Amino acid sequence: MSSETKEFKRILVTGGAGFLGSHLCRRLVREGHDVVCMDNFFTSQKTNVTDLLDKPNFELVRHDVTMPFFIECDQIYNMACPASPVHYQFNPVKTMKTSVLGMMNMLGLAKRVRARILQASTSEVYGDPNITPQPESYWGHVNCTGVRSCYDEGKRCAETLCFDYHRQNQVDVRVIRIFNTYGPGMHPYDGRVVSNFIVQALNGQDITIYGDGSQTRSFCFVDDLVDGIVRFMNQDECIGPVNLGNPHEFTIKQLAERTIQLTGSKSKLINEPLPHDDPKQRRPDITLARELLKWEPKVQLDEGLQKTIDYFAHVDMRTFKKPTQHDAHTNSRVDEKDAKKRKVAK
Least confident window among 137-141, 214-218, 325-329: 325-329
Q: Domain ranges in the chain?
A: 10-183+220-247+280-298
The pLDDT confidence band at residue 346, using thresholds 50, 70 and 90, is very low
Write out pLDDT tens, residues 23-59. 999 999 999 999 999 999 988 889 999 999 999 999 9
Output the pLDDT for position 191: 79
Q: What is the DSSP string of 236-258?
A: SS----EEES----EEHHHHHHH
Q: What is the mean pLDDT of the segment spanning 135-159?
A: 93
Distance of CA 258 to the CA centre of its chain: 23
Tens digit of each residue's pLDDT (9 = 90 or more) over 72-116: 999 999 999 987 777 777 888 999 999 999 999 999 999 999 999
Q: pLDDT band for 324, please (50, 70, 90 cuts).
A: low
Q: What is the pLDDT of residue 119?
A: 98
CATH topology of domain 10-183+220-247+280-298: Rossmann fold (3.40.50)
Neighbours of 227 (CB within 10 A): 18
* Predicted pLDDT at 219: 94
Cα 313 to Cα 4: distance, rounded to the nearest angstrom? 32
SS3 43: coil
**Four-residue CA torsion sign, 47, 45, 49, 289:** positive
Can you tell me the distance from the alpha carbon of 3 to that of 24, in angstroms, rounded to the nearest whole number? 13
pLDDT value, residue 315: 84
97 phi and psi angles, rounded to 5 deg = -60, -40
List, by residue number, the catalytic residues: 151
For the four alpha carbons of 251, 252, 256 and 258, in that order, the dihedral sign comes to: positive
Per-residue pLDDT band for 154 (boundaries 50, 70, 90) equals very high
Amino acid at 267: S
Residue 340 has pLDDT above 90, yes or no: no
pLDDT confidence band for 277 (50 / 70 / 90): low
Check pLDDT > 60 for residue 330: no
Kindly report, residue by residue over 164-187, the tens digit of the pLDDT: 999 999 999 999 999 999 999 998
Banded pLDDT at 322 (limits 50, 70, 90): low
Q: In whole numbers, what is the pLDDT of the chain averaged over residues?
A: 90
What CA–CA distance (Å, rounded) separates 95 from 212?
29
- Amino acid present at 71: I
The count of residues in the chain is: 346
pTM, to two decimals:
0.90
* Segment holding 264, helix H or strand E: none
